[in-house]
Amino acid sequence: MSKQIVHHQSQSLWNYTLSPGWTMKEVEILNLALMKFGIGKWRKIINSECLPGKSIGQIYMQTQRLLGQQSLGEFMGLSVDLKKVYLHNMQKKNVFRKNNSIINTGDNMTQEERKKRIAENKKNFGISPADIALIKLPRYHVNSQTSFLSHDEILEGNFTTVEKINNLCALKKDILRKLKKIENGELEEAFDDEVEQKRRYKKVMTDSDSSSA
C-alpha cells in the first residue's frame, strides 16, 4: 500500500460508528472490499464471499458511516481512501450530522454536478491500480446465497429510483425462486445447511476478534 493510505490507519482519528450487527473485523474487511471493487459495487462485494450473511442494505449503511456522509452518489464506482474522505468530512463546519455522518439538507445534485464531483473525488481521494492490486480479501467458504434488501429497506433507503427498481426486481426473483423451492420441499434442508455454515463463519470472526484484541 502507498504511504498515503498507511498514514490514515489511526483508529483514534477514523472514529466511525458501527451499524447494528457489525464487528470491527467485518468493517475492516468491508473497507478493503470497497477499495478493491469500488463504492456502489455491492454485488461484487457480496459475490466475493468476504462478508457472507451481509445484505446490500447493511453494506450500504456501514459504507455511509465509513465515509462520514449520507450521500454516496459522488463516490459511486470509485476506489478511494475511505479514511481520508472521512477525515476530510470531519473537518467540515456548519453541517448536520447523524452517527458522525453528514446529512443531506440541500437539493439533489444534477447529473452534471455529480459527474464533476466524481471526477474531483477520484483526483483527491482515489487510490492507484497498483495499490488496488495489492488488496487481498478473505474468502469464507459459506454456501450462502446472495442477500437481498427487504421491501421496506428498498423503499425507505437512500437509493435512486433506478436503484430501487433494480433491487425490487432482484427481490421479486428471489421470492419466486424460494416459492419454487417450497413447492418442491427443498427449502427447509437448504436453510438448515445455511444456518450451520453461518454459525461456523461467526465463530471464525469471533475468534479472529479475540486474537486481535
Residue 152 has pLDDT above 80, yes or no: no
Give the Cα separation of 12 and 180 in Å (integer): 50
Cell of 30: 468491508
Q: What is the pLDDT of residues 38-68, one digit of tens each?
A: 999 999 999 998 998 888 888 999 999 999 9
Contact 190, 182 (CB under 8 A): no
Going through the chain in order, the beta strands assigned E by DSSP cover 97-98, 101-102
Domain boundaries along the sequence of the chain: 3-212
pLDDT-derived band at 203 (thresholds 50, 70, 90) equals low
Q: What is the pLDDT of residues 72-115, one digit of tens each?
A: 999 999 999 999 999 999 999 999 988 788 988 777 888 999 99
Query: How far does the chain reach from its first CA to its final CA, in angstroms?
Result: 24
Q: What is the pLDDT of residue 200?
A: 59
**Alpha carbon of 199 to those of 44, 52, 85, 187, 205: distances in Å?**
23, 11, 34, 18, 10
- What is the value of pTM for the model shown? 0.65
